[in-house]
Structures are given as C-alpha cells and as structure tokens.
Amino acid sequence: MPWAMLADELDRGKNRTMALTVLAAIAVGILAFMVVRSIRQAPGTVVEIPAAAEQAETVATTHAPVMAGAVTATTLIPAPSMTPVAPVDPVLYTEEDLRAGVPDVDMRLAVVRAEWFVSEYFSTGQVSDGLIPEGATERSMPDGAYSWVEWARAIAVDAVGGGRYDVTVVFRTMAGDGEQPIAATAPRTVLVPVLVDDDGASAVIDLPAPVPLPDEAGVDPLPEPAADVPDPVAAAALEEAAAFGDATVVGGTRLAVGWRVVVTVTDASGAAFPLAVLVSG
C-alpha cells in the first residue's frame, strides 16, 4: 500500500493529526485480521520431548492439514546423535602463501610500471622521480626538441623469476623540432625489465631494450564494394554510421549473412574515413 500517497490525500484540507490517526487505525485493522487468520489455522506439528532415558527414539505426533476426516499418524524418529564435534583449529597463512596465490597481481603491477615508464621516458619533459633506474645514462634534450608518447601498450609479459618480469611494450610518439613540424612516428617496440618485490612495490631495473615489432598475420584482401546496394540496406548503413559524421554509401558486397556496405564519413575536421557496416538479413 502506498502509505505516503495515502497520507498526502488525507492531509489535503484536514488536520495532519487526523490523517495519522486514520493510518494507525488501518494498520491496527490489518494486524488484527492477520492475527485472527493465524489463530483459525490448526497447528501443523506437535512434538513430544522424550525423557533422558528414552533418547534412543523420539515419538512425534503429526497431524495432516486441516481437512474433514483428517487421519492422525504416529512416526518413530531416531534421536539425534549427541556425540560432541571436535573443534577445528584455525588455518594460518603466511604472507608468502598469500602472495603465491596471486601471480596475476604482480604481472599487472609490472605492466602498469612498464607502460608508465615508456610514456614518460620517450617524452620530453620531466620524468617522475624514481621511474628511471638509478645510475642510468641521462637523456639528451636539446632546445626545440619535442616528443610525446601518443600511446603505449604492453603486448607480452615474461615471468623470468625472482619477481622479475620482462614486459614488451609497443608505442608511438608525436615528435618534431624547430625545423620539422610535429608528426606521428612509426610504432616501435621495447622490452622493459620490471621487478616486483614481496611488498608489492615495482621498479624498472634497466634501460629499455629495442625489440622487433610483432609479426603481422596474413589475411585475404577485402572484397571490392562494387555491387549496387538496395535502398533499404543503404538506409540502414547510413543510419548506423550517422554518429561518426556525414555518411555516403560507396558500394557493397552481398554476403551469406547480409550485406557488407562501405561508407565514407566526414567528421568536423573535414576528413573522410571509410567504414564497413554489416547489415544483416
């Protein structure tokens, strides 16, 4: 029952005390109805407590549900065992035991440290204290030099042992100087050795080492979007691509599961980007 709404209705044009009185009367009436209903129902089960000398068996008199001609049955139920249960000693785990079960946590710490390190190490400007290993050769930052890590992603983690993890990180920078405009560089890959100690603290323990970029998988060429796209399919593709900008249908390819429609979208910069929209059916 919406008590708050009922109180608001009763309070309109009347004294609030009267409204609360009416609500209390309704609540008492509902409670009385529930009590009377429960009293009228017959008890379900009556159990006789056996004497101490008769613990071998317990006599329980069970009545069937309240019905005309109900039959009373007597059932012998074995008494529960009185054998005391031996207390269980608490199991204590050492810190080494607890840490041994969460290797994924240390690996995540190593990945975060490696990505953080690459993001600052290959960017001009101040590097966070303690991020570069102590005693490492200093970087050279001539006037006008600019480098900023656009993205850095760990693609592999090798657990060497003793808390050391060799993390492979692929990254790309935006770089330039006083004579060349700032532009994106080609992606590069480095291996960053990270140590995670027993307290969960991590640190880069050596300079990054250059490693080859990951291999590219061989794939088949994309199908030519040469077929004319039916109007309903084109309309569905344009609706899907509308969030990216002004869309235009280039063409499509009929597949077993529907249509692969190629559209170009022009964003706020004026550049156009082709997208592939799958219209099922």
Per-residue pLDDT of the chain (281 residues; tens, 9 = 90+): 344 444 444 454 455 556 566 566 666 677 666 655 655 554 555 545 455 444 444 444 444 444 444 444 444 545 555 556 566 566 555 656 555 545 689 999 999 999 999 999 999 988 999 999 999 999 998 888 999 999 999 999 999 999 999 999 999 999 998 788 899 999 999 999 999 999 999 999 999 999 999 999 999 999 999 889 999 999 999 999 999 999 999 999 999 999 999 999 999 999 999 999 999 97
Question: How far is it, in rounded angstroms, from Cα 208 to Cα 167?
Answer: 10
The residues, ordered by sequence, that sit 6+ positions from 157 with a Cβ below 8 Å of its Cβ are 107, 110, 111, 165, 166, 167, 168
- Confidence (pTM): 0.60
- What pLDDT sits at residue 180? 82
Nearest Cα residue to 229 out of 250, 214, 199, 204: 250
Query: Contacts by 250-254 with C-beta closer than 8 Å and gap 24+?
Result: 250/225, 250/274, 251/224, 251/225, 251/226, 251/227, 252/225, 252/227, 252/228, 253/223, 253/224, 253/225, 253/226, 253/227, 254/227
Number of helices (H), then strands (E), belonging to the chain: the values are: 5, 12
Q: What pLDDT, on the 0 to 100 scale, is given for residue 20?
A: 60
Is the distance from CB of 230 to CB of 249 less than 8 angstroms?
A: no
> CA-CA distance, 279 to 255, in Å (whole number)?
10
Predicted confidence at residue 88, as pLDDT, reads: 56
Q: Are 184 and 172 in contact (CB under 8 A)?
A: yes
DSSP helix/strand/coil, 123 = coil
Strand-pair partners of 161: 164
Q: What is the pLDDT of residue 82?
A: 56
Rounded to the nearest angstrom, the gap between the alpha carbon of residue 161 and the centroid of all alpha carbons in its chain is 30
Helix, coil or strand: residue 280:
strand
CA distance linking residue 123 with residue 142, whole number of Å: 13
| Residue 60, Cβ density class (10 Å: 0-12 exposed, 13-18 middle, ≥19 buried) | middle
In this structure, the number of other CB atoms found within 10 A of the CB of residue 149 comes to 18
- With beta carbons less than 8 A apart as the criterion, state whether 42 and 66 touch: yes
User: CATH number of the domain at 96-210, please?
Assistant: 3.10.450.540
CB 221 within 8 A of CB 241: no
Answer whether 46's CB lies under 8 Å from 63's CB.
Answer: yes
Q: CB-based contacts of 135: which residues, under 8 Å, 6+ apart? A: none
**Residue 28: per-residue pLDDT:** 65
Question: How far apart are alpha carbons 152 and 170 in whole angstroms?
Answer: 6
- Cα angle value 144/131/180 (rounded, 5°): 20
Structural domain boundaries in the chain: 3-40, 96-210, 231-280
